[in-house]
Amino acid sequence: MQLIRQHKTWLNNLLVPVLSIVFGFIFGAILMVAFGYNPIIAYDAMISGVFASPYFIGEALRQATALTFTGLGFALAFKAGFFNIGIAGQALVGWVSAIWFALSFPDLPRILLVTLSLGVGAIIGALWASIAGFLRAYFGTSEVIVTIMLNYTALQLTNFLIRDVLSESGNTTESVGENASLSIGWLSTLTQSSRLNLGFFIAMAVVILYWIFMTRTTAGFEIRAVGLNPHASTYAGMSAEKNIILSMFLSGALAGLGGAIHGLGTFGNIFTQGGLPDIGFNGIAVALLGLSNPIGIFFSSILFGVLDIGAGFMPNRAGVPDEMADIVTSAIIFFVGANYIIRYFVDKRAAKKEAASSTKGGDV
Partner 1 sequence: MNALDIIQLIVSSSLIYAAPLILTALGGTFSERSGVVNIGLEGIMVMGAFMSAVFNIQFAAAFGGWTPWIGLIAGGLIGVLFSIIHAVATINLRADHIISGTVINLAAPAIGVFLTRAIFGAAQTGPLPESFGRTNIFLLDRIPIIGPIFFENTSGPAYFGIILAVVAWFVLFKTRFGLRLRSVGEHPHAAETLGIKVYVMKYSGVLLSGLLGGMGGAIQAQAISNEFGILTIAGQGFIAMAAMIFGKWNPLGVMGAAIFFGFAQSLARIGTYIPIIQDIPAIWLLVMPYLLTILVLVGVIGRAEAPARLGTTYIKSR
Partner 2 sequence: MPMSQSVIEMKGITKEFGTFRANDNIHLDLRKGEIHALLGENGAGKSTLMNILSGLLEPTSGEIKVNGNSVKISSPDVANELGIGMVHQHFMLVDKFTVTENIMLGREKSKFGYIDKKSAEKEIKELSDHYGLKVEPSSKVENITVGMQQRVEILKTLYRGADILIFDEPTGVLTPQEIEELMGIMRKLTDEGKSIILITHKLDEIKQVSNRCTVIRRGKSIDTVDVSITTQQELADMMVGRSVTFKVNKKPADPKETVLKVEQLTVKESRGYDAVKEISFEVKAGEILGIAGVDGNGQSELIQALSGLTKSSSGKVHLAGTDITNKKPRKITEAGLGHIPEDRQKYGLILPMTLEENISLQTYYQKPYSNHGFLNYKEIKVHAKRLIEEFDVRTPSEEHTAASLSGGNQQKAIIAREVDRDPALLIAAQPTRGLDVGAIEYIHKRLIELRDNGKAVLLMSYELDEVMNVSDRIAVMYDGKIIAIVNANETNESELGLLMAGVPIAEAKKKSDGKGKEKDAVDSTT
The answer to whether residue 211 forms part of the interface with partner 2 (CB under 8 A) is no
User: What is the rounded CA–CA span in Å between residue 78 and residue 151?
Assistant: 18
Between 36 and 140, CB nearer to partner 2:
140
Among 141, 217, 316, 357, interactor with partner 2 by CB under 8 A: 217
Q: Which of 31, 225, 327, 346 binds partner 2 (CB under 8 A)?
A: 225
CB proximity list for 73: less than 8 A, separation 6 or greater: 84, 87, 90, 250, 251, 252, 253, 254, 255, 258, 283, 287
Instruction: Tell whether the torsion through CA atoms of 239, 240, 243 and 244 is positive or negative.
Output: negative
Which CB, 115 or 156, lies closer to partner 1? Answer: 156
Q: Which does 219 bind (CB under 5 to 8 A by kind): partner 2, partner 1, none?
A: partner 2
Q: Of these, 2, 111, 168, 361, which contacts partner 2 (CB under 8 A)? A: 2
Q: How many CB atoms lie within 10 A of CB 23?
A: 17
Q: What is the binding site for partner 1 (CB under 8 A)? A: 35, 83, 85, 135, 139, 141-142, 144-146, 148-153, 155-157, 160, 274-275, 281-282, 284-285, 288, 321, 323-327, 329-331, 333-334, 336-341
Question: Among residues 256, 307, 265, 271, which one has the least CA distance to residue 65?
Answer: 265
Q: Is residue 236 a contact point for partner 2 (CB under 8 A)?
A: yes
Distance (Å, whole) CA 319 – CA 107:
48
From 107-115, 165-173, 213-221, 308-316, span contacting partner 2 (CB under 8 A): 213-221
**Out of partner 1, partner 2, none, which partner does residue 236 contact, by CB within 5 to 8 A per kind?**
partner 2
**Does 339 sit near partner 2 (CB under 8 A)?**
no
Minimal distance, residue 298 CB to partner 1, in Å: 21
Write down the H helix ranges in 263-338: 278-289, 294-311, 314-318, 324-337
Q: Would you say 10 or 344 has its CB closer to partner 1?
A: 344
Q: Which does 327 bind (CB under 5 to 8 A by kind): partner 2, partner 1, none?
A: partner 1
3-state secondary structure of 319: coil
Establish how many alpha carbons lie within 13 A of residue 307's alpha carbon, considering only the half-sphere containing its beta carbon: 23
Please report how the helices 294-311 and 2-34 are oriented relative to each other, as an axis angle in degrees rounded to 10: 20
Contact 195, 265 (CB under 8 A): yes
**Where along the sequence are the contacts to partner 2 (CB under 8 A)?**
2, 6, 216-219, 221, 224-225, 228-229, 231-239, 351
